[in-house]
Structure 1
Amino acid sequence: MFHLINTHLDAIGMYRLVTLSLSFLVICSLVLGVFNFVPYSALEQLVSLFVVLTTALITNVVLGKLLQIHVNNESAVITALIIFFLVLPALWNNIAESWIIALVTFLAILSKFIFVRQKQHLVNPAAFGVVLVALFYQFFPNLGYFESAWWIGQPAMFVPLVLVGTLLVIKLRRFKLISVFVLTAFIFYLFEGWSIGAGFWEQIPNFWLSGPTLFLAFFMLTEPFTLPPTKNLQIIYAMLIGFLSQTTIFESFLELTPELALVIGNLLFFAFTLRQKLFLSLIEKREIAKNTFEFVFAKPHDMAFVAGQYMEWMLPHDQSDNRGIRRYFTIASAPSDKCLRIGVRFGEKISTYKTNLLLLAVGDKIIASQRAGDFTLPKDNTKKVAMVAGGIGITPFASQISEMIHNKEKRDTILFNCNNTEAEIAYQEILADAEKKLPINVINILAKEKIVGCEFGFLTEEIIKKHAPDYLEREWYISGPPMMVRSYRKLLKDMKVPLKQIVTDFFPGLV
């Protein structure tokens, strides 16, 4: 069942899945509004929906033309749909009040263009728009009162929210991030309730069925542009925002709301999440294995990364399919290289993204951003390492091995390189060079071809013990298709390799 869900999610891009999930929640809310299961009628919701979408899209397009930069309308739609659930729809007998949600939406989209550093927005736009309007009313109290409502927190919306939220968690593999955030928020929610004498059992349904925490976790905490790049930082980030979203410790001088908690978290982690949006020119395109191409781009002189990290690569094109215009690819070049390389495998049926990627000509540009990832080798190069690559999963190892060659590292390394045929082995030149210059042993494993010098079939306990009898002493790194990663992780676990010695590569582009 889990595999079936993963297969279907694999056909949908991350941003498209978020758009579809929010749209599903809107439809559920409209239907519930017809039957009065939520406080706002379907007509009132439709007016609010029209206002947020038109405001977001018009603002996005106009600012893009004025500033002469490419805009992503799907991103604007996502921001609008989030705001739709944060700000109360105007009641039918006071529909003119819809200007408030229009103002929130306008400021949210505007923040993407002006509250930026190195062409990247610094805070969650939807949260920031709400915070700005709330501050405006604080400075001009004679105009009235405004606060976010997070009206998505309705018992009738709980099941649809958990359903689509679960799909997003599966897609993004953010189990730990969301679990830590929700648990932290729940603990402090209970503590705050206990401090004012609220009953324990009565607090539980209020938190889960009527609170903002789940929506914040699924759709806002996980926003890639403001999320710290490594797992450890993400856990601290989640705990901080979980605490700030529930505590009243600062209420004597600052009333914290969920959106303000998120904005504060974004700003406090600004130094860690600072990622430059790069407009990279194609230098070269070449086939490096059967159905596998390497794309070489000019590298900005001030760009830094760690071997094994990945980036988001955006390629705007017309009539994109459900996978959208963005992908996550590991950087295949070494940090010491003077260019940026990515390796991409093309199947029989390829997406509109890969079709347009393959059509890139020298000089054409692609937009890269969101450098992140923990799939990096131990800083202590005396630790023995074993790498397991599946197909194009060789790319992080190509980067790491190239950097090891450059630094003349003497790290004891074994690479199990798994492919179907010899023709599909990518980066053979790098691997051959490494075997001459490094203490590395490359074992090619071919599933569909028997060749002298290569193992046949799949990676097994027998093959591991044959080539790495000291496997229990090694740090294991696995990169490749999700099913392969899970399978070989289980194999190593069954061989009594401690889980702390197994590192798996994952980023949203793999699913």
Structure 2
Amino acid sequence: MISLIDRFIDRVTMYRLVLWYLVGLVLVAAVLGTLHLIAVDPIALALSTVLVITGGWIANQIFARVFGAIPNVESIYITGLIIVLIMDPAPLGDLSAAGAIVFASAWAMASKFIFSVRRRHVFNPAALGVALPALLLDHPATWWVSGQIWLMPIVVIGGLLIVRKLRRFDLVLAFAVANLGVTVLTGNPSDALQSMRFALFDSPFFFFACVMLTEPLTAPQGKVWRLIYGVVVGGLAAPNVAIARYYFTPEVALLVGNLLTVIVSPQGRVVLTLERIEQAAAGVYDFVFQPDRKLAFAAGQYLEWTLPLQGSDSRGNRRYFTIASSPSEDAVRLGVKFSPRGSAFKRGLSQLQPGDQIVASQLAGSFTLPRNRRRKLAFIAGGIGMTPFRSMLEELLERGETRPIKVLYGNNRLDEVAYADVLKRARDELGIPTWYAVRDATGATSDMKVGFIDADMIEERIPDYRDRTFYVSGPQPMVSATRESLRELGVPAWRIKTDFFPGLA
């Protein structure tokens, strides 16, 4: 069941999944309001949606031009729809309510540019967008999408799909424990169960935790700080928490958490200028960029890359790619595999010329080498999944550092083998062997397996597999199949690391 869910959500980008979820909530709410099953006026909801999206789009275009930024169209709609779902819809003819939601939308978009550190916005735009109208215009967020029994199944199921896509269950769990714990501790002990029921089903708990708390740009990187972030926001967002007689609202609690992110995860956006393009294999090209500042990262981590596109497709103008260069290289290397039916993003990438620029942000990822240099490792790569291993091996080569590593590399054809030069150097200089598997036997040598990397190949080439930690990177079906093969061999799940980032599509 989990594999089916993963297959579904991995076909769409993170932004598109969130957008579909929010659109679905608005449409279902309109239908339920029409049937008088929830207290929402569908006409007011439709009007508010038009006003918020229009006002946000105009504001975003203006500030993007002023600040010379690359706008992400999907993020405009996502922020706008969140505001629609947490501020009361403006009834027809109510200019005060209409002005408040338009102001909230425009302010949310403006805040992304005004409050930024290293080109990364500091605050969750929707949270800051609704906080100011509450203070200045007496139009607070009511979070009407929460506490609606008819909407609750969609809120919960769709929200959990987003969390699964982002692999942020640890963050949501930390938030939940802190929020429920503080709710019980600050309430009447005899009403503990009632307080928990209210927190779960009559407060913004699920929508807030799954949609707003998990926004990648304003949440810390690294598991420890991510958990601390969840605890801080969860505790402050509890109903009875107050400082100097001021009670926190969920959006204000999130803004406080965003400030923590700035302190512990100061990495912002980096602008990279294309120097050259190198062909790494058939259909695989390396884009070599010069960053505007030194990029500090660990081999195996990834970035979100934003490309200005004249015409985007359903996958948007942002992608997650692993960094193929090593941390000590001055240039930043991006390895990409192209296909005839590639996305608009990859078509735009293929048209880049030396001197053109691209923006990268959201440095993250725990698919990195362990600190223990004696730990036995095995790298299993499929196709372009060699990029994180290229980064790791290049770093080891530059250091002259030997580690007990063995590499298995699978491709459809022999000419699709990427970074063969790095793999050869790793074998010659560090004693790290690589064995290949190819589906097409053309040109294959006797020591290559014709077919897939399977349990038999792992047993043959890595006889001490029970003693090794496996790193697996490649297309999602290949990663899933390899994980199953390793589990069949008795390798425990905790010794299997897979290269994940929240944008496989």
Q: Give the Cα–Cα distance (whole angstroms) in 1 for the partners of residues 454 and 5 of structure 2.
A: 27
- Alpha-carbon distance change, 249 to 217 in structure 1, aligned in 2, over 3 angstroms: closer
Q: Is the 8 Å Cα contact of residues 303 and 323 (structure 2) preserved in structure 1?
A: yes
Matched, 1:504 2:498: yes
Matched, 1:148 2:148: no
Structure 2 residue aligned with 1:56 = 56
1:215 is matched with which residue: 203, 207, 212?
207
Matched, 1:277 2:269: yes
Matched, 1:462 2:456: yes
Cα drift, residue 282 of structure 1: 1.2
- Alpha-carbon distance change, 164 to 122 in structure 1, aligned in 2, over 3 angstroms: same
Q: Give the Cα–Cα distance (whole angstroms) in 1 for the partners of residues 219 and 477 of structure 2.
A: 26
Letter in 1 for 2:205: T
Q: How does 1:294-305 map to 2 (within 5 A)?
A: 294-305=286-297
Matched, 1:384 2:376: yes
Cα drift, residue 7 of structure 1: 4.3
2:191 is matched with which residue: 189, 193, 198?
198
Q: Give the Cα–Cα distance (whole angstroms) in 1 for the partners of residues 174 and 411 of structure 2.
A: 37
1:310 is matched with which residue: 283, 288, 302?
302
Q: Give the Cα–Cα distance (whole angstroms) in 1 for the partners of residues 200 and 135 of structure 2.
A: 28
Structure 2 residue aligned with 1:437 = 429
Greater Cα shift, 449-458 or 112-121:
449-458
Q: Is the 8 Å Cα contact of residues 303 and 321 (structure 2) preserved in structure 1?
A: yes
Q: How does 1:3-402 map to 2 (within 5 A)?
A: 3=3, 5-92=5-92, 94-136=94-136, 145-153=138-146, 154-195=148-189, 197-198=190-191, 200=193, 202-203=194-195, 205-246=197-238, 248-402=240-394
Q: Give the Cα–Cα distance (whole angstroms) in 2 for the partners of residues 422 and 375 of structure 1.
A: 26
Cα drift, residue 507 of structure 1: 0.3
Q: Is the 8 Å Cα contact of residues 11 and 322 (structure 1) preserved in structure 2?
A: no
Q: How does 1:413-452 map to 2 (within 5 A)?
A: 413-449=405-441, 450-452=444-446
Q: Give the Cα–Cα distance (whole angstroms) in 2 for the partners of residues 302 and 96 of structure 1.
A: 48
Greater Cα shift, 261-270 or 423-432:
261-270
Cα drift, residue 57 of structure 1: 1.1
Greater Cα shift, 164-173 or 388-397:
164-173
TM-score, normalization: structure 2? Answer: 0.93
- Alpha-carbon distance change, 247 to 162 in structure 1, aligned in 2, over 3 angstroms: closer
SS at match of 1:344: strand
SS at match of 1:156: coil
SS at match of 1:27: helix
Q: Give the Cα–Cα distance (whole angstroms) in 2 for the partners of residues 323 and 309 of structure 1.
A: 22
Cα drift, residue 3 of structure 1: 4.8
Structure 1 residue aligned with 2:468 = 474
- Alpha-carbon distance change, 49 to 361 in structure 1, aligned in 2, over 3 angstroms: same
Cα drift, residue 348 of structure 1: 3.5
- Alpha-carbon distance change, 194 to 504 in structure 1, aligned in 2, over 3 angstroms: farther
Cα drift, residue 309 of structure 1: 0.4
Letter in 1 for 2:409: N
Cα drift, residue 114 of structure 1: 0.7
1:86-130: CA deviation from partner (whole Å, max 9, x where unpaired)? 212234474433222222222211111111111110110111122
TM-score, normalization: structure 1? Answer: 0.92
1:310-365: CA deviation from partner (whole Å, max 9, x where unpaired)? 00111121221111111100000001112111111123411111111111112111
SS at match of 1:396: helix
Cα drift, residue 39 of structure 1: 1.9
Q: Is the 8 Å Cα contact of residues 271 and 292 (structure 2) preserved in structure 1?
A: no
Q: Is the 8 Å Cα contact of residues 127 and 259 (structure 1) preserved in structure 2?
A: yes
Q: Is the 8 Å Cα contact of residues 381 and 409 (structure 2) preserved in structure 1?
A: yes
Q: Give the Cα–Cα distance (whole angstroms) in 2 for the partners of residues 239 and 68 of structure 1.
A: 36
SS at match of 1:510: coil
Instruction: Mark the runs of 5 or more structure 2 residues left unpaired by the alignment.
Output: none
Q: Give the Cα–Cα distance (whole angstroms) in 2 for the partners of residues 94 and 2 of structure 1.
A: 46
1:467-510: CA deviation from partner (whole Å, max 9, x where unpaired)? 32322322221111222222322332333333332221100232
Q: Give the Cα–Cα distance (whole angstroms) in 2 for the partners of residues 240 and 488 of structure 1.
A: 38
Q: Give the Cα–Cα distance (whole angstroms) in 2 for the partners of residues 270 and 332 of structure 1.
A: 27
1:280-300: CA deviation from partner (whole Å, max 9, x where unpaired)? 111111221121111111133
Cα drift, residue 205 of structure 1: 4.8
Q: Give the Cα–Cα distance (whole angstroms) in 2 for the partners of residues 498 and 240 of structure 1.
A: 33
Greater Cα shift, 402-411 or 435-444:
435-444
Structure 2 residue aligned with 1:140 = none
RMSD: 2.2
Q: Give the Cα–Cα distance (whole angstroms) in 2 for the partners of residues 497 and 367 of structure 1.
A: 39
Q: Is the 8 Å Cα contact of residues 402 and 430 (structure 1) preserved in structure 2?
A: yes
Q: Is the 8 Å Cα contact of residues 284 and 336 (structure 2) preserved in structure 1?
A: yes
Q: Give the Cα–Cα distance (whole angstroms) in 1 for the partners of residues 495 and 7 of structure 2.
A: 28
Q: Give the Cα–Cα distance (whole angstroms) in 2 for the partners of residues 461 and 70 of structure 1.
A: 46
**Identity among equivalent pairs (%):** 37
Greater Cα shift, 386-395 or 223-232:
223-232
Aligned residues: 502
1:402-428: CA deviation from partner (whole Å, max 9, x where unpaired)? 000001111111111122221111110
Letter in 2 for 1:268: L
Q: Is the 8 Å Cα contact of residues 334 and 400 (structure 1) preserved in structure 2?
A: yes
Q: Is the 8 Å Cα contact of residues 338 and 346 (structure 2) preserved in structure 1?
A: yes
Q: Give the Cα–Cα distance (whole angstroms) in 2 for the partners of residues 93 and 461 of structure 1.
A: 68
Letter in 2 for 1:448: D
